[in-house]
Structure 1
């Protein structure tokens, strides 16, 4: 009655012996610090510099390739993101008066140089000189109006928090570049405005 009951039908409980710990001894502090120590100055400076230059050259090559192909991942930070792509595509889709500024300015400089050698062209040179100011004013006005209109469209499309600072200057600078010399390269044809 007060004794121990024995039950023959219960199977004995066997505990699985799982390995305790991580299976290796904890390294001494001295050993861990020695493993993490790296020299501040490499022992072979020329090899380290060659390695660093090769790494920078490879990064520059990837970045230049991205500027041609339009790959956002490897572009410089100022050109990255959907907002900047939208702005670039919109500027590239239209004819800008700013792109015509450089060829017209070169023509006017040639006329002014010709007028210095031929005295009969002084009136033409004076007209060309003043027309250069008019062209600059008209092209700059066109680019500024485009930039403000484009910033408003980008804020509607992406939200005001995603359209950061520098949008107006970014659009103006791109509008004044010749289409062939723009970087990142235009990814759309003229007239294909982004939605």
Structure 2
């Protein structure tokens, strides 16, 4: 900052005269500010902006300090779990809810099914598979039989293995026929369906290869029924 000396008093007077003679100045900022219309000024809200937790209606309490020892941490976890009766009641509720969801899933309710089983097309495919007796359904029992023959003599194992290979060839041929039949029936019932023929055929083959009592969802039609 530059200070004026005593001998510069005349310069100070000259500067004051120039300012009074030209109040606007070269930039004209004061005149422009006075000439602006009052409507262009932004009106305020008239109230402070509320905090987020106040706007959401939440009240946050103080955060508990971290436990200093493992004993204190165990005591805090035990206190948060509640009493033994409360834990047993909560566990019983969870088991009941899980059993209810499983029962609804086995009954075929679309809301509780896996994504691969949802939709009227997949339900129709399951009905078509469940309504017929398939040779592919012997896949799991034959696989169990093959495991048991590993403890027999080599001669018996050779005969069983050969029989298993022949059965596998027949089951593969039946799986191909099941896929073609399922796709044809689905196209007739749901002409606007865009599912892949391969995915529908594989879904039907996997369903047919399972033991009837172990299928999920449970079969809605009996063997031999018309669909």
Q: Same fold (TM over 0.5)?
A: yes
- Is 2:54 the counterpart of 1:34? yes
Distance 1:38 1:91 in 2: 57
1:119 aligned partner:
none
When normalised by structure 2's length, the TM-score is: 0.57
1:104 aligned partner:
142
Distance 1:140 1:176 in 2: 11
When normalised by structure 1's length, the TM-score is: 0.65
Distance 1:56 1:78 in 2: 25
Higher RCO, 1 or 2 (CA under 8 Å, sep at least 6)? Answer: 1
Q: CA deviation at 1:60?
A: 4.4
Rg (Cα) greater in structure: 2
Gaps of 5+ in 1: 1-26, 117-121
| Alignment length (residue pairs) | 157
Gaps of 5+ in 2: 1-46, 65-75, 82-86
Q: CA contact under 8 A between 2:53 and 2:59: conserved in structure 1?
A: no
Distance 1:163 1:58 in 2: 36
Equivalent in 102, 114, 131 of residue 64 of structure 1: 102
When structure 1 is superposed on structure 2, of 150-159 and 106-115 the one drifting more is: 106-115
Q: CA deviation at 1:66?
A: 1.9
1:173 aligned partner:
206
Cα distance change, pair 138–157 in 1 and its aligned pair in 2 (3 A): same
Distance 1:82 1:168 in 2: 16
RMSD of aligned Cα (Å): 3.4
Q: CA contact under 8 A between 2:126 and 2:207: conserved in structure 1?
A: yes
Q: CA deviation at 1:133?
A: 1.6
